[in-house]
Structure 1
Amino acid sequence: MQENQIDHLFQQGFSLHQQGRLEEAQVIYESILKLQASHFNALQLLGVIFLEKKQFIHSINLITKALQIQDNQAPCYYNLGSAQQGLQQYEEAIARYDKAVAINQEFAKAHHDRGVALQELQRLEEAITSYENAIAIQGSYPEASWNLSLCQLQVGNFHAGWRGYEWRWKNSEISKTAGLRNLKQKLWLGAESLQGKTILLHAEQGFGDTIQFCRFTRLVSQLGAKVILEVQPSLVSLLQNLEGVSKVIARGDPIPECDYQCPLMSLPLALNTDLNNIPGVPKKFITCC
């Protein structure tokens, strides 16, 4: 088959790949490799397909072969790192991300995923640097900002960590899990006085998060607010006598008239929480990471 015919076949496969028709694209890439085993793009993109299908070993084998043909391709090193990270080979993944960044210092995604791998290894300060580099390159980067906040909280930088935790609402995957709400009441994050006001504090994410963070409701009531607490239906009976709460309602019930609203996991930010004032924790148990 002539070179231009192989090129035409590749364009067909690439078009199918872009449309998300992975199985059809895979067939074409594999047919190209039978004709030309050293076809760089067919090798690396077939590796990407196996990466997308979470068949990480196949992906590693193919991308490695591609890099033996062209070894200066930052996306290939990034994809190789992603496959190794999929196998929890974090040290190897970091080395591949480092190679990608060495070739292209503006590769924000490689900086970010390097941070994820470092975070898995509990190398938190290094992870923070990677996330900050990714944000500096890309600007608005919700995933990096969210992961950065988690690292900051782990190392005890509560001021920056809780502020950055608000990026969960900009992260499409996290916001689905957190349960982003579209409420008419104004969001309260500590700026306005609550004296004589009514505030709705509402649960987000899982049961454990609700139970852990409902301890902050007492502090809100001490600011002079009448507190309405909205939680998952199965937790209403458990929390109905919670100190500082005027009324507990189930998610899905009609919401009483309120002046403000705040998600439970935004309360540490609104209340300027740090290691010295976490409610319900004796000081002798509070240590920095």
Structure 2
Amino acid sequence: MDIESELQQGIELQKAGRLGDAVRHYKLVLEVDPANVDALNLMSVLALTAGDFQTAASLAFAAVSEQPDWFVSRVNLGNALQAQGRHDEAIDAFQQAIALNPSSAEAYLNLSDALNQTGRHGEAADMAVQAILIAPEMADAHVNFGNALMGLESPGEALEAYVKAARLDASNALAWMNMGNAHMALGAPDAAVEAYLHSISLSDGPMKRFNLGNAYYALHRFAEAAEAYGKCLELEPNYLDARINLGAVLRDMGRLDDAETTVRDALALAPNEAELHWNLALVQLTRGNYLDGWREYEWRWRTPHFARFVREFNAAEWQGESLDGKTILVHAEQGFGDALEMCRFVPLLADMGATVTLECRPGLGRLFTTLDPRVSVFEVGSQPLPDTDYHVPLMSLPLRFQTTLNSIPSRVPYLRAPDGAATFPDVAAHPGLKVGVAWSGSSTRRDNQPRSFRPHDLLELGDCRLYSLQKGDAAATASDLFDHGLMIDLGPLLGDFADTAAAIGAMDLIVSADTAVAHLAGALGKPVWILLPAPTSAFLWMQGRADSPWYPSARLFRQTTPGDWSSVVAEMHQALAEDILKFSST
């Protein structure tokens, strides 16, 4: 048998994509010459292409054993080990290949990829640069350089590398997908969508559809996000993250039945996945199924977002045991609004005979001293944690008290402006209807943009005097209204929530987005109109209701079209015209 002829025929068939026929020629060679390095290497490449990574590694290792000084065998071995996830061994193989042939751009390229996989991004960047110096037109080397820069948290520089790769090879689908990832890291989901769509046009794949869904989700283009996650699952039915995000986006679309079905189907596959339980909690709480919802809500501490906030305490976590003669620490979590809503449960612990200490976020301390004289209050970081028999997270209290829609503590108001808070005699003395407004919550919230409105929208509200209770950067959006006397800025006078409570007390009505101000007004028993975005809002406000079981003084005004507040303002204008005498007499 002519071994060289058999090898050449195999190579030609391999180039033509006739891999099975190529294998037969290589096997014939190995039957005659089991140590033939060329056949071993070529068979290794075919096995790797076929996804048989173990065979690929075995063949490459045999080739290396036969000819240790041939760098091609080392590269093939590294590729097979890399495919198996044996990254450290792959790094060693690629380094040996480079030692044998320092001018191999491919070896540097593959080494950079393996280093990226192990989190050694600085070294990966250096190896990618070496590949680029040897072969400046190698698009994949620029992609790997970008990947290393992403790992080094430099998405702007990474984007430049991906753009360079795409210019060198416009058909490089990985460059376009990773370009989308860089745009997402830079907070530019619009640009990410375009990059992902281009990558998908070159070659589809479940990860690309998942990333596209995330970009649409960030843009609040929920229907398109749901479609992208659905296509991801068509390509890879067991893609758990896609199931998680699909359940979340369906809930955000208000499609609670579909969301629950999606989540429960996923839980059948992954019963201990915390994100799925979190999504189920939000669905159930939005429905008002509180007993199930609060129980599922406890999974929050196992989710990636909340896990970083888990704290260690010397006391046992309270699960509902008798508290007679015991001490307990209630500790703050999540946002200001959540604390203002849930602090109503804290006096119930004192009713059970406990000595209660409440830890709260800075800014709430003075206000929370009015909650109950039996409760000691301190702000996070202001003093060491006290020694207590028990501790309990604030947002776990509804579960501990087995709260349903019909058993929400109903004593309202349960907070008041404390002595020493700011005073607003000029505001209180002003004739006419006085309306305090807050139009934006925390800018760090993913949903802050859709839940916020423009302060200028309220100029159409009617015959009233507007007072801004807005704090933070969002207050600047009303600067022209302040300058022209169309709205009075009280923000600089509001040092903490105690001062804000005093300002609210001087008003006849509060108009607010879904912010802490809305919760504070409700806790004070002040009439408050809360503007809610479409298609859905925070679980507290449920679906379709114009009232709230949490705040009897609240009235909910809901968008009918996402992003359009005009109909909401028109509805409030009509309501104000009907109720102005009632507000003026409060």
TM-score bracket relative to the smaller structure: 0.7 to 0.9
When residues 30 and 153 of structure 1 are mapped into structure 2, their CA distance, relative to the original with a 3 A threshold, is same
Q: Which amino acid aligns with 2:358?
A: L
Question: Would you say 1:212 and 2:341 are equivalent positions?
Answer: yes
When residues 49 and 267 of structure 1 are mapped into structure 2, their CA distance, relative to the original with a 3 A threshold, is same
Question: Would you say 1:264 and 2:397 are equivalent positions?
Answer: no
**Structure with larger Rg:** 2
Residue of structure 1 equivalent to 2:178 = 45
Q: Which amino acid aligns with 1:248?
A: S
Residue of structure 1 equivalent to 2:501 = none
- 1:266-281 alignment to 2 at 5 Å? 266-280=396-410
Q: Which amino acid aligns with 1:22?
A: P
Measured in 1, the distance between the counterparts of 2:362 and 2:340 equals 13
Measured in 2, the distance between the counterparts of 1:173 and 1:66 equals 29
Which whole-Å deviations, capped at 9, do the CAs of 1:170-207 have from their partners, x for residues lacking one?
Answer: 3343356xx644221111021x2222222222333333
When residues 27 and 217 of structure 1 are mapped into structure 2, their CA distance, relative to the original with a 3 A threshold, is closer
Tell me how far 1:101 sits from its aligned partner: 0.5
Tell me how far 1:280 sits from its aligned partner: 0.9
Question: Would you say 1:164 and 2:292 are equivalent positions?
Answer: no
> Which residue, out of 170, 185, 188, partners 2:318?
188
Q: Which amino acid aligns with 2:234?
A: A
Indicate if the aligned counterparts of 2:149 and 2:157 stay in contact, CA closer than 8 A.
yes
When residues 14 and 262 of structure 1 are mapped into structure 2, their CA distance, relative to the original with a 3 A threshold, is closer
Q: Which amino acid aligns with 1:187?
A: E
Q: Which amino acid aligns with 1:208?
A: G
Q: Which amino acid aligns with 1:130?
A: T
Which whole-Å deviations, capped at 9, do the CAs of 1:200-220 have from their partners, x for residues lacking one?
Answer: 223333333233222213332
When residues 256 and 88 of structure 1 are mapped into structure 2, their CA distance, relative to the original with a 3 A threshold, is closer
Q: Secondary structure of 1:272's partner?
A: coil
Measured in 2, the distance between the counterparts of 1:208 and 1:63 equals 36
Residue of structure 1 equivalent to 2:167 = 34
Measured in 1, the distance between the counterparts of 2:162 and 2:548 equals 58
Indicate if the aligned counterparts of 2:282 and 2:293 stay in contact, CA closer than 8 A.
yes
Measured in 2, the distance between the counterparts of 1:11 and 1:231 equals 46
Measured in 2, the distance between the counterparts of 1:63 and 1:175 equals 30
- 1:60-139 alignment to 2 at 5 Å? 60-71=193-204, 73-139=205-271
Unmatched 5+ residue regions in structure 2? 1-133, 413-546, 551-586
Q: Which amino acid aligns with 1:201?
A: V
Q: Secondary structure of 2:376's partner?
A: strand
Kindly tell me the number of residue pairs found equivalent between the two proteins. 281
Q: Which amino acid aligns with 1:145?
A: H
Measured in 1, the distance between the counterparts of 2:145 and 2:370 equals 64
Which whole-Å deviations, capped at 9, do the CAs of 1:95-121 have from their partners, x for residues lacking one?
Answer: 111000011011111112212222221
Tell me how far 1:11 sits from its aligned partner: 3.8
Q: Which amino acid aligns with 1:150?
A: L
Range with bigger deviation, 104-113 or 229-238: 229-238
Measured in 2, the distance between the counterparts of 1:14 and 1:238 equals 49
Tell me how far 1:270 sits from its aligned partner: 1.0
Residue of structure 2 equivalent to 1:226 = 355
Measured in 2, the distance between the counterparts of 1:163 and 1:181 equals 20
Q: CA RMSD in A?
A: 3.1
TM-score, length of structure 2 as denominator length: 0.43
Q: Secondary structure of 2:346's partner?
A: helix
Q: Which amino acid aligns with 1:131?
A: V
Which whole-Å deviations, capped at 9, do the CAs of 1:50-70 have from their partners, x for residues lacking one?
Answer: 232232232222222222222
Q: Secondary structure of 1:42's partner?
A: helix
Indicate if the aligned counterparts of 2:350 and 2:375 stay in contact, CA closer than 8 A.
no
Tell me how far 1:94 sits from its aligned partner: 0.7
Unmatched 5+ residue regions in structure 1? none
Residue of structure 1 equivalent to 2:377 = 249
Residue of structure 2 equivalent to 1:197 = 326
When residues 54 and 135 of structure 1 are mapped into structure 2, their CA distance, relative to the original with a 3 A threshold, is farther
Tell me how far 1:18 sits from its aligned partner: 4.2
When residues 280 and 51 of structure 1 are mapped into structure 2, their CA distance, relative to the original with a 3 A threshold, is same
Measured in 2, the distance between the counterparts of 1:18 and 1:236 equals 40
Q: Which amino acid aligns with 2:243?
A: H
Tell me how far 1:281 sits from its aligned partner: 6.6
Q: Secondary structure of 2:166's partner?
A: helix
Higher relative contact order (CA 8 A, sep 6+): 1
Q: Which amino acid aligns with 2:239?
A: F
Measured in 2, the distance between the counterparts of 1:255 and 1:13 equals 45
Q: Which amino acid aligns with 2:155?
A: L
Indicate if the aligned counterparts of 1:189 and 1:266 stay in contact, CA closer than 8 A.
no
TM-score, length of structure 1 as denominator length: 0.82
When residues 94 and 261 of structure 1 are mapped into structure 2, their CA distance, relative to the original with a 3 A threshold, is same
Q: Secondary structure of 1:77's partner?
A: helix
Which whole-Å deviations, capped at 9, do the CAs of 1:30-64 have from their partners, x for residues lacking one?
Answer: 22322322222222222222232232232222222
Tell me how far 1:272 sits from its aligned partner: 1.2
Q: Secondary structure of 2:207's partner?
A: helix
Q: Secondary structure of 1:204's partner?
A: coil
Measured in 2, the distance between the counterparts of 1:186 and 1:232 equals 22
Tell me how far 1:75 sits from its aligned partner: 1.0
**Percent identity of paired positions between Structure 1 and Structure 2:** 34
